[in-house]
Amino acid sequence: MVDDNELNCQLIAGFFAGSHHQLAFGNSGQEAVAKSRALKPDIVLLDIRMPGMDGREALAEIRRIAGLELLPVIAVTASSLLTEELDLKDRFNGYVRKPFSKRELFDELAQFLPRHETPAPGTDAGAAPAASAASAAASPAAAAPELIAKLRRLAAEEWPALRQGMAINETKAFALNLETLARQWGCKPLNDYARMLARDADNYAVVDLERNLAEFSHLVERLGADHPQPQ
């Protein structure tokens, strides 16, 4: 992240607090070029309006560095001019306009950052990746008919909109509801799935969250395999 405004850098640092991402900061176009050359980052968030070397000039210099010709660089600007926005979208790989929300930024980053399997709480970084939603439900224990009925209702009424919107707070509430149900009926696969969703939401792991949300209907099918739906 390169921005001559320290507050903007602090905002980005706060967005990523507690996540697995490693961040480096700069406050000038010259630093953007130097740190890109030294660190070979996965992605660069580059402010446009900086004294001295601005974002456009820094981008041109970064593109001249061997091996960084295709480095994803996202333009960050406060400009609301349509002509400038179109120009930046043409030059850069991505574009976000200040002030932006955490969701807006992460949606843009998700197009470029490699997928990362988030470790389960209490495991170290070198441990095996956390299980996916599919594997969490691979061998479900027998589930009570009342629980299955509640899950099917959630799958029909709440889950479609949640999967479409991927709102973080709503996802956390959904995960908490699932965890409560899992504890009430002693259903470990559902509890594991709920904790995974909550972890994705807390870490704003957008790609993992989207994938695991999509698995909810399959989880319900597996848990309800012994309880056919009434005709």
Mind listing the pLDDT tens digit for each residue in 152-162? 999 999 999 88
Both structure tokens of 154: 């959630």
Give me the domains of the chain, ranges plus CATH numbers.
6-109 (3.40.50.2300), 133-223 (no CATH)
Q: What predicted TM-score, i.e. pTM, was given to this entire model?
A: 0.51
Q: What is the pLDDT of residues 161-191, one digit of tens each?
A: 888 887 888 888 999 999 888 888 888 888 8
Q: Which of 157, 213, 154 is nearest to 181 (CA)?
A: 154
* CA–CA dist 133, 137 (Å, integer): 7
How many other CB atoms are there within 10 angstroms of residue 206's CB atom? 19
